[in-house]
Amino acid sequence: MDDKGLGAAVVWILGKITPYMGECMAVREGTRFVRIGGFHDSILESDSINVINVVLSFGLKSL
């Protein structure tokens, strides 16, 4: 984390996964990073319409 609120994380995953599962895991790990970091505001972006639809279907417009 820097003084501008920017951060990054890396998670190693063993084995083969589909692109869809990779996107899902990125969303999961990203939201975990936000919660652990104590952020109040965050933006979740994905280029996978399938993942976006799942997030919206659970009413997770505000995580």
Residues 6+ apart with CB under 8 A from 13: 22, 25
Q: Domain-by-domain residue ranges, the chain?
A: 19-57
Which pLDDT tens digit goes with each residue over 13-52?
Answer: 889 999 999 999 998 988 888 888 887 778 888 888 999 8
Helix ranges (DSSP H) in 1-63: 19-37, 49-57
This prediction has a pTM of 0.71
